[in-house]
Structure 1
Amino acid sequence: MRTTPFHPRLSELNDQGLYTHWQGTLSPLRYSHAPKHEYFAVRNSVGVFDTSPLYKYVVTGPDAERLLARALTRDVTTCRPGQAHYTCWCDGDGYVMHDGVVFRHSANEFLLTAARPALSWFEELGSGMRVELEDVTEGYGMLAVQGPRSREVLSSLMPEAETLGYFDHVPVKVADTAITLSRTGYTGDLGFELTVPEDSAVDVLDAVLEAGRGHGIRPFGEEALMTLRIEAGLPLIDVEWHDARLALSDADKVTPKELGFGWMLRGVRDGSRRFVGSEAIRKELTDGTSRWLTTGIVVDWADWDRLYREADLFPPKSEHPPPYESMILDDHGVEVGYCTSFVYSPVLQRHVGIARVRPDLAVEGTRLRLEIAINHHNTTVRVTTTKMPFFDPARKKG
C-alpha cells in the first residue's frame, strides 16, 4: 500500500490510525475521534486535506490543446494560461467516464488530474498527434487548504494568495520550494490547493501548519470531506455515477446532462464543437431523451421528526452519509428517481441529498417522498427539490 508525500507528517497528527485506500494509496478516514470537529474546522476556520492520490498527467506539445479539446466535455480552448477548468470526459455513446481538473500553464502545456487512472485512454486518443503525456502522479503531492481563513493563512506565506481568482493558478515559492498555488478545492468553500514536488512536501506542509497555528488549522479526512462535498452539491465517482467503461448496464451509466453537467456542453447542440461522445449528447439534447435530471432535495424536518417520534425514537441527525441509494417516490407511491448521497448538514441544520429524478419533476420546489427505514420497516418522508449547491458562501468565489 502506497503512502503520500505528506504522510510522514500527517500520520503523526492521526490519533485514530483509521485509513481507507484511494486507488492503492492510504487515505485517512479521520484524524480524531470526531470527524465533525474536522468538518467545523473547514466551515469555521481552516483545514488541510491530502489530495495526493489524484492521478496527475502532464500534457505537452503542439497538439496538446487539440487532444484535450477532442477528449474533454468542457471547451478547453476557452481556458487561458493561469486558469483551471473542472471538466469530465465521456465514452463514444456520451456516457461519463471520469471527471477532473485541467490546469493550463501555457499554450502547449497542461496538467490534468483524475480520481481514476486514465492515461492509456488519452494516449490512444492522441495517437498520431504531436503530443506527449507523462504520468507524474508519484512526483507530486497535492494539499488542499480549505476554509474561510485559508486565504489569510496562505497569504502569510505567499502574497499571491491574497488576490488569486477563483479557479486560477500561479507559480509561487514556499519553504524554498517552487510550487503551484490554485484557487480550487472540493469543499464548496473558500479554498486553495498546493501542488508540491514530492521531495519537499513535508517542508511545505510544515510551513502551512505553522502559519495556521493561530487559526486552529487541522487536517481532515474523508468522512468530513463527504459531508462537505454533499453540502457543496459536488458529485463523486462510484457514488453519483460509475465509469461508463466499467458499468455492467446502461442503468449504471449517466450522461453529462443527467449528472448536472449541462453547463459544460456549450456548442454541442448546434454541432459547433465536437469531442468524444458529443454526437450522442447532441442527439440527447435535441430529442429530449434524458432519462433523469440531477437535483438537490431537502427533507421536511417536521415530517422527519414526526415519523421517528411516533416510533418512539429520537430523530437522528447523522453527518455520516449512508452507503446506499434510496428510492424517491411521488405522492402515489410510484418510483420517480433515487437519491445517491444523503446527509444531515450541521451548518444548515437540515437533511439534504443529491438526487436523480424524472426530468419533469426536477423543477425547483417539487414535493416528493424519500424512502427511509424505521424500526426495520420502509416508510417515506417528505422532501422538496431545490437548486444546488446547498451551501454556497460568497467567499468561495469572492
Structure 2
Amino acid sequence: MRQEPEGYAWSRFGQPEYTNWLDESMSWKETCYIGDWSFLWQHRFTGPDALKLISDFTVNNFEVFDLYQSKHAVHTNKDGKVIHEGVLTRFGDEDFMVHGRGGFWLAYNLEKGNYDASVTNEDWFMYQVSGPNALALLQKLSGSQDLADARYMRAVTITVAGHEIFALRQGMAGEIGFELQGPSSIGAEIYQAVLEAGRDFGIRKMGGRIAMINHLEASFPTIATDYIPAIFDEDMSGYREYFLSSMPPFAKPAYINGSYDGKDISEYYRSPIELGWAKVVTTKRNDYLGAEALAAEKQSPKRVLRTLEWNGDDVLEVQRSLFEPGEHFAYMEMPRDQRGYMWADRVEVDGELVGVATSRGYSYYFRKMLSLATINVDHADVGTEVEVLWGAPGQRQKAIRAVVCPAPYKEDRSRGQLG
C-alpha cells in the first residue's frame, strides 16, 4: 500500500510556521490563535427536497435542526464506513450549507437521484479563532454580546470591519472557539481585522506544522490521516471518478506508510463508531445509506478510539539511532510527519495485533509523544499497556511501549455557557 509522495502543498494551512511551532502550539491553551480553513469546499443545497437528500446519505438525526444550527455530518457507504464528514449548517427552511468533502458526495447523489433540489458551489473564508482569549477578542472586535450567548454548534451574526459575517460556536481545539464565515471577497479584510485586534490578546497564526497537533490533542480524526475514504470499492467507481477529478493535489487520497501492512485498501476504512463519533449516529431511522450496518455496530462495537501515550525513553532511542552507526530507525519527524502520509502503525499486545495507531505527534504542552488509535474494545481500558511497532516492514523496527489514554487527551473546555 505504500507510496512516495509527489510533493506536499502547504497551502492548506498557509505557512509551515509563523513564529515557531513550539510557540504556536501553546496558543490554544494560553492565549488564542487564528487558523485558516478556507481551503475547505462549500456546497449550498436548496429546495423542497434538500433535507431529504442530506438525510438519505448522512448518519445524523434531523428531528431537531434549527435555523443557524450546525451538525457534524458524517456520510457512510453501505457497510457503514466513512466516505466523508464535515460541518452542515441550516440557513433557511430549505437552505443548507455543507463545508467539506461531503458536498461532493451529496451533489453526486443529487445528479443520480430524483430530488427537487439544487446545488451551488460557494467560496467562503473560514477562520477559526480559539483559545482562552477568543471570546474577549471577538467581543471587543465586533462589539457584540451575542457571542457570549451563542450555544455550541450554533451560528450568530456579528459585524467585523463593517461587514456582517457568521460566527459559529465550536471548539476544534477543545477550547472556547468560533469559526468566522463569510464570502471570500471580504476574507482578507476580516483576517487582518482579527489579527490587529488580537495583538492585545496574544493571538498567534496557526502554521501547518502544528495544525494537526490541535486535532490530535482534542481527538478529531481526519481524512487521509486517520482513515482512507471508503470510495475504492467497485460499486463506488462512478463517484470515485467524479470526486478525484475535482480535487486539487493536496486533497488527493493519502499516501500510506508505517508498520501496519494492510493487504486491501478497505483495511484503512473506518466507521464513525471506530472514530469516536458514535453519538452522531442515529438509530431512530434506518433509511440512510449504511444504517443497518451502523445499528449493529453501535450495539456491539469491536473497536473504539483512544489516545496512546508513547514511552519517552523508547522514542528517544528511535531518535538516538540517527547518531549511531548502522541502520537507523525510521525518522520520527517533530512535531509530526509533514508529507501528507497516513502513517498507520501496528498496536500490539504480546505480539498480537489489537489496533492501529495514527496521527502520531509531539505535544509540546504535555511534553508527550501521542497518537490516536482504533483499538479492540477488550484492550481499550484506560491504563492498558500496549506496544506500537515503529518502522515499515523490511526496515529496522522498534516496539515502543505505550499506555491507553482517553480520547480526547486534552480536557475539553469548548462547551458550556460563556456568559
Determine helix, strand or coil for the equivalent of 1:57.
Answer: strand
Mean Cα deviation higher: 376-385 or 95-104: 376-385
**1:151 — aligned with what?**
135
The answer as to whether partners of 2:45 and 2:118 remain within 8 angstroms in 1 is yes
**2:408 — aligned with what?**
389
**2:253 — aligned with what?**
none
Higher relative contact order (CA 8 A, sep 6+): 2
Is 1:350 the counterpart of 2:337 in the alignment?
no
**2:265 — aligned with what?**
249
Determine helix, strand or coil for the equivalent of 2:400.
Answer: strand
The answer as to whether partners of 1:190 and 1:397 remain within 8 angstroms in 2 is no
Amino acid in the other structure paired with 2:266: D
The answer as to whether partners of 1:69 and 1:77 remain within 8 angstroms in 2 is no
**1:128 — aligned with what?**
114
Question: Which of 192, 210, 224 is the matching residue for 1:206?
Answer: 192
Unaligned runs of 5+ in 1: 1-18
**1:281 — aligned with what?**
294
**1:263 — aligned with what?**
279
Is 1:21 the counterpart of 2:9 in the alignment?
yes
Once the two structures are superposed, the pairs formed by residues 31-70 of structure 1 within 5 Å of their partners are 31-32=17-18, 34-70=20-56
Amino acid in the other structure paired with 1:21: A
Q: How far apart in 2 are the matches of 1:192 and 1:174?
A: 14
Determine helix, strand or coil for the equivalent of 2:282.
Answer: coil
Amino acid in the other structure paired with 1:145: V
**1:338 — aligned with what?**
356
Q: How far apart in 2 are the matches of 1:311 and 1:317?
A: 12
Deviations 1:166-190 (A, max 9, x none): 2110122222212111112532222
Deviations 1:97-143 (A, max 9, x none): 00101112232222111147435324236x3222222111x3x2111
Q: How far apart in 1 are the matches of 2:315 and 2:184?
A: 48
Is 1:85 the counterpart of 2:71 in the alignment?
yes
Q: How far apart in 2 are the matches of 1:369 and 1:220?
A: 32
Change in Cα spacing, 1:58 to 1:310, as seen in structure 2 (3 Å) is closer
Q: How far apart in 2 are the matches of 1:26 and 1:386?
A: 30
Once the two structures are superposed, the pairs formed by residues 273-312 of structure 1 within 5 Å of their partners are 273-285=286-298, 288=300, 292-301=303-312
**2:93 — aligned with what?**
107
Once the two structures are superposed, the pairs formed by residues 202-241 of structure 1 within 5 Å of their partners are 202-241=188-227
The answer as to whether partners of 2:58 and 2:75 remain within 8 angstroms in 1 is yes
- Deviation (angstroms), 1:219: 1.5
Change in Cα spacing, 1:184 to 1:246, as seen in structure 2 (3 Å) is farther
Determine helix, strand or coil for the equivalent of 2:232.
Answer: coil
- Deviation (angstroms), 1:254: 1.7
- Deviation (angstroms), 1:309: 7.9
Unaligned runs of 5+ in 2: 1-6, 234-263, 325-331
Mean Cα deviation higher: 247-256 or 216-225: 247-256
Change in Cα spacing, 1:355 to 1:305, as seen in structure 2 (3 Å) is same
Mean Cα deviation higher: 26-35 or 91-100: 26-35
Q: How far apart in 2 are the matches of 1:381 and 1:213?
A: 42
Q: How far apart in 2 are the matches of 1:385 and 1:78?
A: 35
**1:10 — aligned with what?**
none
Amino acid in the other structure paired with 1:165: R
Q: How far apart in 1 are the matches of 2:305 and 2:12?
A: 31
Q: How far apart in 1 are the matches of 2:230 and 2:321?
A: 43
The answer as to whether partners of 1:20 and 1:28 remain within 8 angstroms in 2 is no
The answer as to whether partners of 1:148 and 1:395 remain within 8 angstroms in 2 is no
Deviations 1:313-335 (A, max 9, x none): 8xx994224742221110x2222
Change in Cα spacing, 1:26 to 1:336, as seen in structure 2 (3 Å) is closer
Change in Cα spacing, 1:347 to 1:204, as seen in structure 2 (3 Å) is same
Q: How far apart in 2 are the matches of 1:285 and 1:197?
A: 39
Question: Which of 302, 325, 331 is the matching residue for 2:344?
Answer: 325
**2:256 — aligned with what?**
none
**1:361 — aligned with what?**
379
Mean Cα deviation higher: 146-155 or 163-172: 163-172
Q: How far apart in 2 are the matches of 1:240 and 1:107?
A: 35
**1:9 — aligned with what?**
none
Normalised by the length of structure 2, the TM-score is: 0.79
Mean Cα deviation higher: 92-101 or 355-364: 355-364
Change in Cα spacing, 1:363 to 1:101, as seen in structure 2 (3 Å) is same
**2:399 — aligned with what?**
380
Q: How far apart in 1 are the matches of 2:398 and 2:126?
A: 43
Q: How far apart in 1 are the matches of 2:333 and 2:106?
A: 41
Q: How far apart in 2 are the matches of 1:198 and 1:382?
A: 46
User: Identity across aligned pairs (percent)?
Assistant: 22
**1:4 — aligned with what?**
none
CA RMSD between the two structures = 2.9
- Deviation (angstroms), 1:54: 0.8
Amino acid in the other structure paired with 2:224: D
Determine helix, strand or coil for the equivalent of 1:67.
Answer: helix
Change in Cα spacing, 1:347 to 1:317, as seen in structure 2 (3 Å) is farther
Normalised by the length of structure 1, the TM-score is: 0.82
